[in-house]
A and B are shown apart, each in its own frame.
Chain A
Amino acid sequence: MFQSYGIHGPVLGPVTGLVIDVILLSLAFWMLASPDMKKASNILTFVTLITSVSLLRVVMTPLPNIQPVTVAALIIGAQLGARRGVAFAVLVTMISNFIIGDGIWTLYQAIGWSVVAIIGASSKIIIDGQLQLNKTFGYAVICAFLFDIIVSLSVLGTVSFSGFMMYLLNGIPYDIIHAVGNVTIAAWFGRWFSEAITKFQSMEEIEQKVVDGYVTRT
C-alpha cells in the first residue's frame, strides 16, 4: 500500500506475485499441519477467527493505521501457540489484502504479524487462562512499532539509507496511532477475544471427549 503515498517498494511482476502468494500459502498450511487440525471443529474455529478478523481489518481500513490484526495475532499466538499464530497472521494478511490491495507489502505484513504472533506465543500474557491486560498493553505498544518497522523494510532497495530513515521518521505519527489503537482494542476486546477462543477450545475438548468415549464403547 505504499504506492501513491510516495516511496514505493519494488514493483512485482505477476509471476513474482504468484510465487510469493504460493510461498505464503504453503507456509500457512505447513504451520497448520498438526494432528489437532484434522478435526473439523478445530478447522471451523480457525476459519471463523481468520474470516472475522480479516473482515474487521477491511472494515477498519478508513481508520488511520488502526490495526486490529496486531492485537489478534498477539492473543492468538499466546492462546494457540506460535504455529497457529503464524498461520493465522499469514492467512489474514492474504485474505484482507486480496480485498484491500495486494503487492510486495503483503509479504512484509505477513512477516510482521507472524513475528507478532511468535512474540505473543512466548510472552506469557495469558496466565491461568486469564489475559494479563497490563502486560498485553506493553506488548501491544512494542508490537505496533516492530510491525511498522518490518513493513517499512519493503521500501529498502528503492531508497537510500538516509531516505529510509526519513521514511521511518515520517511514519512516527502512524506508529503512535497504531500503538494507541492496539492498547484501545486490547483494553476493550482483549479479554473477550481471549475468552471466546478459550470457549471454542473447551467445546472442542468436550466434543472430542464425547467422540473418544463413543469410539471406545463401540
Chain B
Amino acid sequence: MRSKLLLLVVIATFCLPIVSGEVSQTQDEGEFTQQWSLDFGEVYVSTKPISTDVGIFVRTSSSSLAQGIPSVYSLNFAGDEVWRVENPNSTFQDMTPLEYVDSGVGDCGSWPDMVLVGWSNGLFQALNANTGTIVWQYQTEVNSWGITGSMLIEDETVTIPTRQGIDKLCLDGAIQFSHEIGLGWRNGVTFVGESYWVGDEEGNLWSANNQNATKHFLAQGKIRHAPIQLSNEHLLIHLQTDSGSTIYHFNTTSEQSSVVIHSGYSPGIPIIIDGYVITTDSQHLTSISCGIECIVKDSETFKSNGEISNVFGTVMLPQNTLDGGYGHFELSTQGDLISLGMLNYVDDWYGTAGIESWISDDVKYMLLVNDNANLKMYSTDNTPISYDKQDSDWPTILVILSALILISTMSIQLLRERFQSAFKFFILFVTILLFFSFSDIIEAWSDLVNDEAPATDAWNDDWPDEWLGTQIVVFEFKQETIVTGGLLGNDNVLEASIEAANQQGLEIEIIESSLGKYVVSIDNVAGEGWEYTVNGQPGTVSAEFSDLQSDGIVVWKQL
C-alpha cells in the first residue's frame, strides 16, 4: 500500500506544475502582488498604458478587424472599464503612445482634461478624459498609414509627427503650423533650441518652426524614435540601417554628427534615465554618457525593440521574444547596467509596450502588458482587489477541470490496482495536454531547428524603399503577381497573408486540418495548391506555425 501511495505522490507531483501554472499569476512577484488583470482579446497592446489622476488609459491595436477593433480604454484603478473609444478604420498597427493633458485655459483657448490619441489611419483625436467624448479631432495625411510616432505636449500645444509632415496644434484644436517632411514611421518629435526635430525613413532629421521645415541628412537609414535631447542642444539618434543600427551624436548648431557605436537590428525607443541615455535593439541594451561627446558606458546582451521604462529607479524593458518577460537592470552611478534578472509572468510572450509605474500613499504600482493584450496591475499592497474582471477564460478552465478529473480518476484506479485503466486515463491526459499546447510546441520546435534567412535574400529592388523593414506578402498567381508591403506586427505567415489579402480585397480560403491551418485557395484560385517561402526559404510547417520577423518576406506561389 505504501509503495502505491508513493507512486501516487510521484505522479501527482509530476502533474501538479502543469495545473498550477495558470494559478501562479496571483502569486507574489517579489514584493509585488497582482491586483487584477484584464484581457482585451486577440488584439495587441504595443504602447505603455498611462496612469493619471483621472484613471488608467490604455490603447489596443490590430491589423485586421477579425482580431478586434483598435480602441482606447479608460479604466478605474480597480480595473473596471469606464469608457471605450473605437476606431475600426485604424488597422495598420497603432503605436503612438497616448498622452494625457490636464484641463487649462490660455492663449490657445480652453480645454478639459483630455487624452490625446494619434491613430494609424491619420486621425488625431482629443478625447474628454472623464467621458471619452470627442473634444475635437483633426485628420492628417495618410500614405499607407497615418500617425505612428510619439507626439510632443508643451504648455498649450501638441506637436504631431504625421505620416509625411509635422503639425502643431493648440490644445483647443486650432492649427499653428503644418509642414511637409519625409515619410516617417514611429518617428517622434523633440523640441531643441528653437525648433521641433523629427526623423524620417531616409535618415534625415528635420527641424521645423512656425515658418518652415529644414532637412538635415544624418546617414542612410531610418529614424524611428523621437530624437533624444542632450545638453548643449545636441541630439542622440539610434538609426536603423540595413546591417543593424548606428547610434549618432548630432550637434543641432553645427549640424555635425559623429558615430557613437554600431549596434544591433531593429532599435527600440531610447530614453534618458539618471542622466544616461539607454538604448536597445535586437542585440544590446546600452548605456551612454553624453557630454561634449557621447561615450558608451556599458552594454548587455538583450533583445528589446520597443519602449524602455524607468521603474522606481531601475531599467525595465520587455524582451521581444516568444519567451517574453521583462529585463530588469540597475543603473549604477557610473552608468553600468547590472542585471537584476528576468521578471517572468504566466502570459509572457512578445512585447514592446513599456511599464507604467507610480507611487501612491507609499504603495508602489506597476501596469504590465505585452502583445497578448492582457493588462495586469501589480502593487506592493498585499490585498488583491479582484482578478480577471472581464471575459473569464472558460476554455482554459475547462481544460484544467478535465485534467483534474483525469488525474483524479487515474489516481483512484492506481489505488484500486487497476493499472491498465490508470494508464488509459494517463495517456488520455497526455494527449489532451499535447493537443492544447501543440501550436506552442510546433512554433518553439520550428524556431529551434530552422535557421532564419535574412530578408535581404528575398528583397526585390523594384519595391519602394518605405517597405524596407516591414513585412511583405507576395501572391504569385499563374497570370499575375500581387505584392503587399508595409505590413506591421504580424506574428506568423498566416496572419500576414490574411492581412495582405484583406488589403488587396482577395478572398483567402482556409480550412482546419490535422497538420494545422491549410490555405485552400487565394482569390478563389486553388490550382494544384499553394506553397509559401519566408525570406526565400520553403516553409516546413503550417503557415499558422511559421513565425514571421518584423521584416519578413512571404511569397505564396500557385502550383
Would you call B428 an interface residue if the criterion is a C-beta within 8 Å of the partner chain's C-beta atoms?
A: yes
Would you call A47 an interface residue if the criterion is a C-beta within 8 Å of the partner chain's C-beta atoms?
A: no
Taking CB as reference atom, which chain B residue is nearest A4?
B519
Tell me which residues from 415 to 455 in chain B have a Cβ below 8 Å from any Cβ of chain A.
Answer: 420, 423-424, 427-428, 430-431, 434-435, 438, 441-442, 445-446, 449-450
Taking CB as reference atom, which chain B residue is nearest A12?
B528
Given contacts A7-B531, A173-B438, contact A1 B538 (CB under 8 A): no
- Residue of B449, B515, B533 with highest tally of chain A CB at under 10 A: B515
In the complex, which residues of chain B have a beta carbon less than 8 angstroms from the beta carbon of A183?
427
A65 to B542, CA, bound (A): 12
A217 to B546, CA, bound (A): 71
| Inter-chain contact A4/B427, CB cutoff 8 Å | no
| Inter-chain contact B450/A11, CB cutoff 8 Å | no
Q: How many positions in chain B have a CB within 8 Å of any CB in the partner chain?
A: 38
Contact string, A184-214, partner B, CB cutoff 8 A, digits 1/0? 1001100000000000000000000000000
Among A63, A133, A180, A184, the residue within 8 A (CB) of B514 is A63
Among A5, A103, A166, A169, the residue within 8 A (CB) of B515 is A5
| Inter-chain contact A184/B427, CB cutoff 8 Å | yes
Among A67, A169, A176, the residue within 8 A (CB) of B449 is A169
Taking CB as reference atom, which chain A residue is nearest B438?
A64
In the complex, which residues of chain A have a beta carbon less than 8 angstroms from the beta carbon of B559?
3, 8, 11
In the complex, which residues of chain A have a beta carbon less than 8 angstroms from the beta carbon of B533?
6
Contact string, A98-122, partner B, CB cutoff 8 A, digits 1/0? 0011010000000000000000000
In the complex, which residues of chain B have a beta carbon less than 8 angstroms from the beta carbon of A5?
515-516, 518, 531, 539-543
A169 to B445, CA, bound (A): 9
| Inter-chain contact B540/A170, CB cutoff 8 Å | yes
Would you call A167 an interface residue if the criterion is a C-beta within 8 Å of the partner chain's C-beta atoms?
A: yes
Tell me which residues from 319 to 362 in chain B have a Cβ below 8 Å from any Cβ of chain A.
Answer: none
In the complex, which residues of chain A have a beta carbon less than 8 angstroms from the beta carbon of B514?
1, 60-67
Would you call B250 an interface residue if the criterion is a C-beta within 8 Å of the partner chain's C-beta atoms?
A: no
| Inter-chain contact B427/A167, CB cutoff 8 Å | no
- A residues neighboring B (CB under 8 Å): 1, 3-8, 11-12, 60-67, 100-101, 103, 133, 159, 163, 166-167, 169-174, 176-177, 180-181, 183-184, 187-188
| Inter-chain contact A64/B539, CB cutoff 8 Å | no
| Inter-chain contact A65/B539, CB cutoff 8 Å | no
In the complex, which residues of chain A have a beta carbon less than 8 angstroms from the beta carbon of B431?
66, 177, 180-181, 184
A133 to B427, CA, bound (A): 13
Taking CB as reference atom, which chain B residue is nearest A181?
B431
In the complex, which residues of chain B have a beta carbon less than 8 angstroms from the beta carbon of A64?
435, 438, 514-516
Given contacts A61-B512, A166-B449, contact A4 B538 (CB under 8 A): no
Given contacts A177-B438, A183-B427, A188-B428, contact A166 B540 (CB under 8 A): yes
Given contacts A183-B427, A184-B427, contact A170 B513 (CB under 8 A): no
| Inter-chain contact A6/B435, CB cutoff 8 Å | no
In the complex, which residues of chain B have a beta carbon less than 8 angstroms from the beta carbon of A174?
442, 515
CB distance from B364 to the nearest CB of A (A): 42
In the complex, which residues of chain B have a beta carbon less than 8 angstroms from the beta carbon of A66?
431, 435, 514
Given contacts A181-B431, A184-B428, contact A7 B538 (CB under 8 A): yes
CB distance from B169 to the nearest CB of A (A): 48
Taking CB as reference atom, which chain A residue is nearest B529?
A3
- Residue of B435, B513, B514, B546 with highest tally of chain A CB at under 10 A: B514
In the complex, which residues of chain A have a beta carbon less than 8 angstroms from the beta carbon of B528?
3, 11-12, 103
Would you call B530 an interface residue if the criterion is a C-beta within 8 Å of the partner chain's C-beta atoms?
A: yes
CB distance from B525 to the nearest CB of A (A): 13
CB distance from B439 to the nearest CB of A (A): 8
Given A3-B531, A8-B529, A163-B538, 6 more contacts at CB 8 Å? A4-B543, A5-B542, A8-B559, A62-B513, A174-B515, A183-B427
In the complex, which residues of chain B have a beta carbon less than 8 angstroms from the beta carbon of A4?
518-520, 529-532, 542-543
A11 to B541, CA, bound (A): 19
CB distance from A131 to the nearest CB of B (A): 12
28 contacts between A and B (CB under 8 A): A1-B513, A3-B529, A4-B518, A4-B529, A5-B515, A5-B543, A6-B531, A6-B533, A6-B546, A7-B539, A8-B559, A11-B528, A11-B529, A62-B512, A62-B513, A63-B435, A64-B438, A64-B514, A64-B516, A103-B528, A103-B529, A133-B420, A163-B538, A166-B540, A173-B438, A173-B441, A176-B434, A183-B427
In the complex, which residues of chain A have a beta carbon less than 8 angstroms from the beta carbon of B546?
6
| Inter-chain contact B450/A65, CB cutoff 8 Å | no
Taking CB as reference atom, which chain B residue is nearest A66?
B514
In the complex, which residues of chain B have a beta carbon less than 8 angstroms from the beta carbon of A60?
514
Tell me which residues from 457 to 506 in chain B have a Cβ below 8 Å from any Cβ of chain A.
Answer: none
A180 to B441, CA, bound (A): 15
A188 to B513, CA, bound (A): 23
